Structure 1
Amino acid sequence: MSEMSSSAVPARPASASGTGHTALPPAKERKQVLGASLVGTAIEWYDFFIYGSAAALVFGPQFFPTDNPLAGTLAAFASFAVGFLARPLGGLIMGHYGDRVGRKSMLLVSMLLMGIATVAIGLLPTYATIGIWAPILLVTLRLMQGIGVGGEWGGAVLMAVEYSPTNRRALYGSFPQMGLPIGIIGANIVFVIVTNILAPDAFQAWGWRVPFLFSAVLILIALWMRLRIEDSPAFKAVKLERKDVKAPILDLFRNYTGTVLLAGIVSIAAPAIGYLYSVYMLSYGTSTLGIERNTMLLLIIFGAICHLITIALGAVLADRFAQKPVFLWGAALLTVWSFPFFWLVDSGKPLNIAIAFAVILLGQSLMAGPQAALIAELFPTEVRYSGASTAYQIGSILGGGFMPLIATGLFAAFNSSMPIALYLLLMGLISFAAMAVLKVGRHPASADAPVKPGAEHPGMGAVREGRE
């Protein structure tokens, strides 16, 4: 990535409006922020996704024992979905304090919450040991994970976007987005290693705990990286001029309710794809299609690598052609690929499944690449953490959190993947329609964003598109 020298950008006075009209921070400082955003988010998603892998592979018999394997799987996926119910709460709480106290402090809190909950799951006794308390404690810890990750995305995205040069806004914002496939890769690699080293009985008995306990090491690394960075220039400018608001959430819903809801609907398709392929496909491939577990794990890792590369592609295209059209391309690709995706997957052939994953994740990435900068720019700095977090978590619940559960239920009801394909197609159409009417780019979020007339006017009026 080419960096702009800080000396090449003339200093501007800090803007009270929160659009971040300050001197562009030095390249070294920006690189530290990008590294902390990427690594920290990757580790949080690693924690979040090892739960999904464990839910697909072991949590049914370990915490929700039943004579009906389908019922156990549904219960395990329901506990996975519980984390999504807590994510808006995390987004609201940390969004409030992130807008009042700072982005950095909330990123540290979210990391600690996620780390403590994940390690505790690795130490949790099973149903055979403590009975009904096992699933109760598991769900409670999953709620803690949800609160942690609910505050993570908004903070990591804003740190990256608010440090960005104008012509690299989407690319900078995509770094936290890339943390998601890196987390998936890490979670599945650890499960591949553990399942290959240990005998099946040992894995079921205690080996599944290793990925959770390993998180303790990763969390310490991320905390060290995040302690070394400063809060964003845009946030510091608002604090300096004392233009922050006492109740960001109230101000957000007083002035930007329509924007929050519409941005949340825009955000449903991308997580729907992510959790379909990374969580549900592991269960569907092994239990329904009879594919070997290691093969499915490796296919998911392959998909995550494609995802990682194409998120960067989506961001670069968004900086080149503007954020909104690139997002629309991704939503359109999802709608036309939903049925071919399942036709290929249902063949049971690894090559076909790899192709299905690669194409649908390209569609996801064309949405995810511009998504962070696009959502951040909908809100002024003083309510930006609250607004971005709330909108994103609405989309994650509606699109992603219940996808594995809904997909499992649809297949059980119809004994066919076609209803799941139709559901996925509808997700794409809804996001496409919402994005088509959303007015983007009202509040420039980058460190060197220029002033535009009317840029601080609340409501749905657009001042500019995603690039200058």
Structure 2
Amino acid sequence: MTATEGSVPARTMRRIAIASGTGTVIEYYDFFIFATAAALVFPKVFFPALGSAAGTVASFATLGVAFVARPLGSILFGHFGDRLGRKRTLVTTLLIMGLATALVGLMPTANQIGVAAPILVVVLRVLQGLALGGEWTGATLMAAESAPRSRRGFWSMFGSLGGSIGFVLASATFLLTGATMSEHAFASYGWRIPFLASFILVAVGLFVRLAVDETPVFKGEVARGGTSGAPFVEALKSQPREIVFASGVLVMVFAFYYLAVGYLINYGTHVLKLSRPTVLSIGILSGAVFGIAIVLGAAISDRVGRRRIILAGNAVALVWALVLFPILDNASAVTFAVGSCVTTFIAGFAYGPVGAFMPELFRTRYRYSATGFTYNVAGVLGGAVPPLVAAAITASFGGWAFGLFLAVLCLISLGCTLALRETRHAEMDQPAEKVALK
């Protein structure tokens, strides 16, 4: 172990973990309330002229815009994260995400300002995507670059765990809001409350993040040789193979998770005809299951390796993709809960080690840029595309056909993970050639 790596006291590691997780709770809360609103109310609020089916497709297309913006955000904020530091960049992403989310809550409807409404929502969604493109990476690096090697998998998962908690909060907020007002009131103004509540959460997140220091690994890199002038370009030149294959590792995780937290909400309410409170309650349960699976996957990866856990998750996912929709089509609350929870458990178990696995692949000089880019490219392939095509595929060919589509995505993740080496014993500040061949 190097002098800089893993030298942070346990008490400080707990503070870093809280800062890492708190920030991602807030940012993913903001992100997920948009996903929930896209499934429940946006087709009527912003796309009423398109009708139910086309409005749903347009609504999820708006959701997908953020995924397209995320790789751009990873390059933008990765550049500053590698040049100025992890902490400063994280504060910036939090502020942008919070402001964009709150403005969605203030947005006039299409009936009030016409086509300008969906256009403005898309602009705000792009800002959300840009901010989130730099968020997970920075939060994860804060922990990964400070943690002892023997427990790096565990400490690095708190940024990912924040996403699970954020989704539970988002679903619970919509559930409580919808339960305390009529359908008309909820569609009229109730859906705005979760967006406006992000003002409070952002204030909490800023307080926590400003209290932590820069990572010792980054400070050591600056002291030894300064920072890279063009970190993303340097990453492409130095480790192109790792960037290509790492970009596919998380395709299954994104596909399964955003299927559960996005499209299945719409599928449960409109296709299976389950009540909205039932679907949102099951969503809260599946979000909790996702968090438990993240902790298990991360902790076990410190003992058996990151790659084995990710491979196991993808192998199980390949089978589950083919049976998921036949199970869901029984159209009961029980089978819907089983389908949602198993889907998020598989995704979470494979996701757990990634907070350590991705940073361990790349050098400190460009780690923020390279890790963020590969993570968010997977977000486009797995998080944006499946919800966008799901409605069309299931309507034309049935759920089994969409299951085949998901199985192909699982194969992509499986193959990309097989192409990469185990990283559990890597030092965080070792040269790139040692990272690649370890």
TM-score class, shorter: over 0.9
Partner of 1:406: 389
Q: Helix, strand or coil for the counterpart of 1:99?
A: helix
What amino acid sits opposite 2:218 in the alignment? F
What amino acid sits opposite 2:69 in the alignment? A
Partner of 1:4: none
Shift of 1:403: 1.8
Tell me the distance in 1 between the aligned counterparts of 2:315 and 2:179: 39
Q: Of the candidates 411, 414, 418, which is equivalent to residue 436 of structure 1?
A: 418
Distance 1:309 1:106, change over 3 A: same
CA deviations over 1:430-452 (Å, ceiling 9, x no partner): 10111111124299355xx8xxx
Distance 1:160 1:334, change over 3 A: same
Shift of 1:286: 0.5
Shift of 1:458: 3.4
> Which has the larger share of helix?
2
Tell me the distance in 2 between the aligned counterparts of 1:97 and 1:356: 41
Q: Helix, strand or coil for the counterpart of 1:235?
A: helix
Does the aligned pair in 2 maintain the 1:340–1:356 contact within 8 Å?
Answer: no
Aligned length: 438
Q: Of the candidates 23, 34, 43, which is equivalent to residue 40 of structure 1?
A: 23
Does the aligned pair in 2 maintain the 1:330–1:362 contact within 8 Å?
Answer: no
Partner of 2:431: 456
Shift of 1:245: 1.4
Q: How does 1:212-291 map to 2 (within 5 A)?
A: 212-291=195-274
Partner of 1:156: 139
Alignment RMSD: 1.6
Tell me the distance in 2 between the aligned counterparts of 1:23 and 1:180: 25
Partner of 2:324: 341
Runs of 4+ more than 4 Å apart = none
What amino acid sits opposite 1:169 in the alignment? R
Partner of 1:55: 38
Distance 1:377 1:136, change over 3 A: same
Q: Give the percent of matched residue pairs that are identical in Structure 1 and Structure 2.
A: 36
What amino acid sits opposite 1:119 in the alignment? A
CA deviations over 1:308-343 (Å, ceiling 9, x no partner): 111100011111111101110000010011122222
Tell me the distance in 1 between the aligned counterparts of 2:242 and 2:371: 10
- Normalising by structure 1, we get a TM-score of 0.91
Tell me the distance in 1 between the aligned counterparts of 2:217 and 2:2: 12
Partner of 1:315: 298
Tell me the distance in 2 between the aligned counterparts of 1:173 and 1:443: 15
Partner of 2:126: 143
Q: Does 1:364 align with 2:339?
A: no
Tell me the distance in 2 between the aligned counterparts of 1:390 and 1:351: 38
What amino acid sits opposite 1:433 in the alignment? G
What amino acid sits opposite 1:458 in the alignment? E
Partner of 2:370: 387
Tell me the distance in 2 between the aligned counterparts of 1:460 and 1:409: 43
Tell me the distance in 1 between the aligned counterparts of 2:363 and 2:382: 26
Shift of 1:22: 4.1
Distance 1:237 1:79, change over 3 A: same
Does the aligned pair in 2 maintain the 1:185–1:304 contact within 8 Å?
Answer: yes
CA deviations over 1:63-112 (Å, ceiling 9, x no partner): 11125200000000000000111101110011011000000011001000
Does the aligned pair in 2 maintain the 1:150–1:393 contact within 8 Å?
Answer: yes
Structure 1: where are the runs of 5+ without partners? 1-10, 14-20, 450-454, 464-468
